[in-house]
Amino acid sequence: MNNVEELPFSAPAERNKESILQVLQRLLPREARVLEIASGWGQHAQHFARRQAGWAWQPSDVDASRLPMIDTRCAGIANARPALHLDVVATPWPASISDGAPYDALLCVNMLHASPWATCPGLMRGAAAHLARGGLLILYGPYRVDGVPTVPSNEAFDADLKARDPTWGLRALADVQREAEAVGLGLREVVPMPANNLIVVFARSE
Ligand SMILES: C[S@@+](CC[C@H](N)C(=O)[O-])C[C@H]1O[C@@H](n2cnc3c(N)ncnc32)[C@H](O)[C@@H]1O
């Protein structure tokens, strides 16, 4: 896999990468160690690492067949590390995932609704173990928020997800927050994003 133009890609990632980058640039310092969970096709790793040379970017995914594609996309970007295999449900995560130095941030885009619920507590346990004190867990995706009906397009998306896999589906922000708080990650901020998505920021206590 050498020609980036011919690689498979995610259309949503192309649409959302710039708006996510703008929020990350506000949340993160110029120099930061970032672990990306569920990097998928690698478009976010490529875009974010290229635009912020001070971010040491570590992509990962459970799907080992995707790792070469991520590396091809990030080839030549000095601050992008070779993609690692990581299943967030694994307990514990392999120590090699942070190589002895905790991360300033973990980023997870569009995974929680496209995987079984067990990925949520798994992600929280791993984040608590591999984030520095005060480090951020940053989630992006569509969520159900108490008292606010989701828009019809999100309901249709939820039905489509469940048709593909009955264990998938939109998650309630309150359920995600409960799992985060159980491991010492407090809700810091919720940022409305285009197309009825949210960025949800949790922080590990100091
Ligand atoms: C909808 S894709 C999103 C990919 C990418 N973040 C993006 O926004 O383009 C969901 C990703 O979650 C990954 N995933 C699913 N279960 C996982 C797990 N248990 N641990 C880590 N990644 C997982 C899949 O392999 C897939 O790459």
Q: pLDDT value at position 1?
A: 53
Could you tell me if the CB of 40 is within 6 A of ligand 1?
A: yes
Domain annotation covers residue 12: no
Question: What DSSP letter does each residue of 2-27 carry, written as one string?
Answer: --GGGS---HHHHHHHHHHHHHHHHH
Q: How far apart are CA 136 and CA 155, in angstroms?
A: 29
Domain holding 188, by residue range, is 17-40+85-204
118: CATH: 3.40.50.150
CA distance 38 to 45: 10
Phi-psi region of 157 (alpha: psi -120 to 50; beta: other; left: phi over 0): alpha
The residue whose CA has the least distance to atom 15 of ligand 1 is 115
> Is 51 a member of any domain?
no
Ligand 1 centre to CA of 111 (Å) is 5
Residues of the chain whose pLDDT is less than 50? Answer: none
Residue range 60-118, pLDDT digits in tens: 999 999 999 999 999 999 999 999 999 999 999 999 999 889 999 999 999 999 999 99
Residue 176 falls inside a structural domain = yes
Q: What is the DSSP string of 112-176?
A: GGGS-TTHHHHHHHHHHHHEEEEEEEEEEE-EEBTTBPPPHHHHHHHHHHHHH-TT--PEEHHHH
Whether the Cβ atoms of residue 138 and residue 201 lie closer than 8 Å to each other: yes
Tokens matching residue 187:
């809700």
Cα 187 to Cα 193: distance, rounded to the nearest angstrom: 17
Q: What whole-number distance in Å separates Cα of residue 18 and Cα of residue 47?
A: 8
Q: What is the pLDDT of residue 204?
A: 97
Q: Judge whether 92 lies within some domain.
A: yes
Q: Is residue 5 part of a domain?
A: no
Q: Is the CB of 67 under 6 A from ligand 1?
A: no
**Residue 191 near ligand 1, beta carbon < 6 Å:** no
> What domain count does the chain have?
1
Atom of ligand 1 nearest to the CA of 108: 6
pLDDT of residue 100: 83
Whether 65 is covered by a domain: the verdict is no
Asked if the structure places residue 185 within a domain, the reply is: yes
- Does 148 map to a domain? yes
